Structure 1
């Protein structure tokens, strides 16, 4: 067994035991089930919202808190003296967090499609593109939080403080058609808002707007670059 494989195995066990992992899966599932009684077969809002909530929790809460905590405890610094470099830890964490987001998405789609009888997108490719770009954008923001936060607690706090206003602007707390026009328009240019709207377009049977895809790609690229610039291993 290689060092990377061992590291992945250990990190996977820690992720499974982490209470935050369960919350990122159960909270959006709870929202879906509670409001699912009113869902109609043609609904194009609730499931995209639930998916955006799940990815937002992973990207803004779990990912930055984990990485900042590892740096605070000196784990990343100690790895620099072993064959497993700190960059390997970062890569493993990104992969595992992506897997967690995919598991949450699969569970939401499965429950919505089989139990609630919800409408699922007919074409896979637009969904995959929107989901991966949205996840990349949210993970980039999480990496920037981890880069700037001095410890795990502050990363957690910053993530929570960012999540709620971002979720509001994205229409995850209040529908955008009930918000002032200017706020709804601003929300479309946030990473979470662009993600939610892109998924809603997919559920409506359309390709996401090129503008929305461009917004998510820009966040993923630019914010990731900023995170790489400011990230400290110790």
Structure 2
């Protein structure tokens, strides 16, 4: 087994034992099930909201906390002296966090489609594009948090402090039609807000608007560049 394969196996086992990973899966599922009785066959709101919540938790909480903790404990520095470079760990972590997000979202769709009889879109391409761009934007923010936070606890706190205002502006805590007009307009162009809207457009049977796709792509690119600029291995 190659060094990269061994690293992936070890990191997968650690992720499976991490309470935060279960948290990111169970919280969106709990929200979906609790409010699932209100789902009608044509509902295009609750499930997209649950998916956005799941990806947001992985990107803003799980990813930055893990990476900042590894740097705090000197793991990244020690890896620099081995054949497994720190960049390999970063790559593996991104891949595993993507798997975690896919697992959480797959479970949500499965429960909604079978138990709750909710509408599941058939447009695979539209769903894939919206999911990948939205996830890229969320992960980029997580990487920037990991780059700037001095330790894992700080990364955790920053992620939580960012998540709730972003979730509110995105309409994940309060329906957008009940929000003040100015907050609603601002929220539409936040990373989480654009992601939620893109998913809703997919659930409504369409393809996400080019504006939303451009917003998410811009967030992913610009914030990723900032994270790369400020990221420290030790």
Q: Which range, TM-score by smaller chain?
A: over 0.9
Residue of structure 2 equivalent to 1:39 = 39
Give the total of aligned pairs.
234
Residue of structure 1 equivalent to 2:230 = 230
Q: Which runs of 5+ in 2 are unaligned?
A: none
1:122, distance to aligned residue in structure 2 (A) = 2.1
Residue of structure 1 equivalent to 2:158 = 158
Could you list the per-position Cα deviations for residues 183-224 of structure 1 after superposition, in whole angstroms to 9, with x for gaps in the alignment?
111011110000000000000111111111000000000000
Could you list the per-position Cα deviations for residues 72-96 of structure 1 after superposition, in whole angstroms to 9, with x for gaps in the alignment?
0000000000000000000000000
Write the mapping of 1:111-150 to structure 2, written as runs, cut at 5 A. Answer: 111-150=111-150
Write the mapping of 1:51-90 to structure 2, written as runs, cut at 5 A. Answer: 51-90=51-90
Q: Distance in 2 between matches of 1:84 and 1:37?
A: 49
Q: Does 1:195 align with 2:195?
A: yes
Q: Distance in 1 between matches of 2:186 and 2:93?
A: 31
Residue of structure 1 equivalent to 2:169 = 169
SS in 1 for 2:215: helix
Residue of structure 1 equivalent to 2:110 = 110
SS in 1 for 2:35: helix
Could you list the per-position Cα deviations for residues 144-179 of structure 1 after superposition, in whole angstroms to 9, with x for gaps in the alignment?
000000000000000000000000000000011111
TM-score by length of 1: 0.99
Q: Distance in 2 between matches of 1:127 and 1:180?
A: 29
Q: Which runs of 5+ in 1 are unaligned?
A: none
SS in 2 for 1:37: helix
Q: Distance in 2 between matches of 1:65 and 1:229?
A: 19
Q: CA RMSD in A?
A: 0.4
Could you list the per-position Cα deviations for residues 12-32 of structure 1 after superposition, in whole angstroms to 9, with x for gaps in the alignment?
000000000000000000000
Q: Distance in 1 between matches of 2:90 and 2:187?
A: 30
Could you list the per-position Cα deviations for residues 7-55 of structure 1 after superposition, in whole angstroms to 9, with x for gaps in the alignment?
0000000000000000000000000000001110010000000000000
Residue of structure 2 equivalent to 1:184 = 184
TM-score by length of 2: 0.99
SS in 2 for 1:125: helix
Q: Distance in 1 between matches of 2:176 and 2:32?
A: 18
Q: Distance in 2 between matches of 1:84 and 1:9?
A: 13
